[in-house]
Each structure stands twice: as C-alpha cells, then as structure tokens.
Structure 1
Amino acid sequence: MLTLWGRENSSNVKKVRWLAAELGLSYQHIPAGGQFGRNRETDYLAMNPKGLIPCLQDDDLVLWESNTIVRYLAAKYGQQSLYLADHGQRANAEKWMDWAISLAVPFGSVFIGLVRTAPEQRDVALIAKQKAECERLLAIADDALSRQPWLSGPAFGIGDIPLGCIAYGWFNMDIERPSLPHLERWYQQLTARPAFRDTVMLPLT
C-alpha cells in the first residue's frame, strides 16, 4: 500500500499525485502541511526529519524529496511507459527535473508575493526582480522545446513534471508574460492530459 502525506495544492505534492495519476496508482492520501499540520509531529518527523511535504511510504520504504519520489515511482511502476530504458535518454529527461529546482525559488517569490500577500504588503521590487529571473529561465526551456515536443524528448515523461507544476501557476497568475511560443505549446499539451487537469489545475491559493 502506498501512502502519501501532503496537501494537494503544494507544487511538490502535485508532482507525485500527477505521476500517480498518469500511472493509475492507488494510494492513501493523508493531508499534511499548511492548515492540516501533522508535519511537525513526532511521528512524522521520525519519517521525514526535514518536516516538509511530500512524504511517501511504500511498504517499509519511506522517501522524501519530491523529485526522488517521482523517479522512484516511475522506475518501479512505469517501466513500460514513463521510465526510459536508455540511460542517456533517461538522463536527458531527468536533467529537467533538477533544472526546475533553479526556477522554484524565484517563482516562489513571485507566487507568494502576488497570490498569498495582500497588495499593500507586497515587496514590489523583489517581485519584479524574481519575475525577470523566471523569464530568463523559462526562455531556456522554450529554446529546448523549439527542438523537441517535450522536455523529456519525443514523448511525455518525468522530465516534464516539475516544470509542469510551476507552469500552471505561471500561466494563471495575473501578470504580463513574454511570448514564449514553444513553452506555451508545451503547456497546452499538458492541459490536454486528464491526470494534469485532475491533480495540478487546482485553484491558486
């Protein structure tokens, strides 16, 4: 039995729930973090000493770090679909998972500043600076997508998942965005996937 701890509107939890939906995996979902608490309780910290979400238990195995969980589930349950057998192709896909970490900090500043902060309390200069960094980084992905349909290569894969979760927020915040046509085409492809719509396209809060 798979058990997943985390609140469903967390970007990092979305990664895991999205992959599980793509693979048709059943799991017990225990809300944790934010308004649900739990993640600072002794039993949770015994599993995940960072006290963050998500946390996954698969029988006796306990994992934290969202990208690690995605890789593990794909390797164990997605051998015939999302887990690439060719080492080079798999590494080329997975590099985008790690690359997306560089986007998480500036995007987080923009998202928290505009979605979770009252207008009179916003650090406008910081938001502008971090938005510019997001635009610089997203241009890198746009360039890659000018040469291939997915970040993972010729087909959708785990390399698309971390940026996909961020991209939903990016394309749905009330901001001006530069034209990145290849990124926009890729994002529209994501929105056509039922698993993406069900697990990622939640109200921005």
Structure 2
Amino acid sequence: MYQRAALTVYLHPFSSYCQKAKVAFYEKGVPFVVKLLDGSEPVASEFAALWPIGKFPVAVDGDQLIFEATGIIEYLEALYPDQVRLIPQNPVMAAEVRMWDRFFDNYISYPQQRVIYVALGREPDDGDDCAKWKTALETAYAILDQRMAGREWVAGNTFSLADCAAAPALLYADWTHAIPERFSHVHAYRTRLLARSSYAQVLDEARPYRHLFPLGAPQGRD
C-alpha cells in the first residue's frame, strides 16, 4: 500500500498558530517532520527563501507550499478525510466551524497579540495600558461565554478546527488579560481544551520556551 511522505512543517513550539496546526496533526494521528524556527541556520535561510512573508507555520508537501495554520488544517482534511474529521462534511456545519475558527484568530488572538507587541516595543502604546485591546478581549470573552453555555465544544458536537484555534488563543489570552471569573463557561471551556490529549502534548512541547513570554508566564493557569 502506498505510504505518503510526511509533511514538513516550519514552526516554533511557542507560537500560538503553530500550536493550532500541531493540534490538528495530533488529533488526526498524522506524522510530520519539524523544521524548528529558532533562528538557527540553515533552517532560517531555508524558510526565508521558501516564504519571504516570514509568518509561520508553513508546511511543505513535495512541491506544494501550504501557509497559515488554517490552510494547513484544511489541507490535512483533504489528504486524510477518513481520519478524525476536524471539519464536518455537512456544508452548513462546516461553515459554522470555519466561522468560529475565524472568531478565535480575529477577535481573541489578534487583540492578545497587539498587547504583546506593545510589550515588545513593536507597536506604540495607546497611553492607557492597552485599554483598547483589553476591552476587545473582554467583548470577545462575553460573546464566547454566551456561546459556550451548555456546550462542550464551540461548533457542533465534536472537537473541530475551531477548537484547534481556541486552545492556544485562550491559553495566551488568559495570560495576557486574565479572563474575568464571571465568564465561567469560558473558563470551563479553556480547562477542557488544555486537558485535551492533543493540546496537552503541544503544551508539554512548548514548556521549555515559556521564558519567551514577555509578560511573564503565570503559574497555575496552564
């Protein structure tokens, strides 16, 4: 029987978007080869030539380049449709999963990263302790809290692409601007995500790099 060659993935274990992609590989039980982007050569030069935009993760499958975490997960679904589906076959349900995937990337990860970029000096502070971005996070928390009332996973009845996005998004968002206790459904959802075996493995692989978190990785919230 023909055995596909493993995809090669350029990533860093501490990156939220790399974690999102890795969860999908582990959920589906698909092997992959890691090219660690820690600034070392020759991988850094390989990556720069392969993808001048410089954002990771990026995967390579023979001559095919796949960029962005969502793109990689969609590609895995196409290659391995019979292994633990992360995007439903029903088109309406699939649309819902994709919609919530975008929610986590755009409305939780994006404002969270703006706060981090301010801390790193890559973006100017608004003069009010990043109030704009923290307010955006609290708005997203409130929406998600309503969504998760009575639900185990964010879209449909099974773990999906959207939950792959949610796990690292909520990990780092809570580190950056703590999820208020009143959002009990978000806290319960985050706890389920962090306990999921696929994401627990991702977290273990990221632990050696926690010193890189510019605000200081908190104790007891992982």
3-state SS of the aligned residue for 2:8? strand
Give the superposition deviation at 1:109: 2.1
Task: Measure, in 2, the Cα distance between the counterparts of 1:100 and 1:136.
Answer: 12
Change (3 A) 1:147 1:102: same
Task: Measure, in 2, the Cα distance between the counterparts of 1:77 and 1:86.
Answer: 17
Match of 1:139 among 137, 142, 145: 142
Query: 2:188 matched to 1:180?
Result: no
Give 1:101's aligned residue. 105
- Count of equivalent residues: 199
3-state SS of the aligned residue for 1:125? coil
Per the normalisation by structure 1, the TM-score is 0.83
Identity %: 20
Per the normalisation by structure 2, the TM-score is 0.77
Change (3 A) 1:27 1:45: same
Give the superposition deviation at 1:78: 4.6
Give the superposition deviation at 1:184: 1.3
Aligned residues: CA RMSD: 2.6
1:6 partner letter? L
Change (3 A) 1:94 1:140: same
2:14 partner letter? N
Contact 2:97 2:155 in 1 (8 A): yes
Give 2:151's aligned residue. 148
Contact 1:6 1:54 in 2 (8 A): yes
Task: Measure, in 1, the Cα distance between the counterparts of 2:151 and 2:179.
Answer: 26
Task: Measure, in 1, the Cα distance between the counterparts of 2:21 and 2:9.
Answer: 8
Task: Measure, in 1, the Cα distance between the counterparts of 2:70 and 2:81.
Answer: 15
Change (3 A) 1:126 1:74: farther
Change (3 A) 1:170 1:55: same
Unaligned segments of structure 2, at least 5 residues = 1-5, 214-222
Give 2:53's aligned residue. 50
Between 1:43-52 and 1:92-101, the stretch displaced more is: 43-52
Unaligned segments of structure 1, at least 5 residues = none
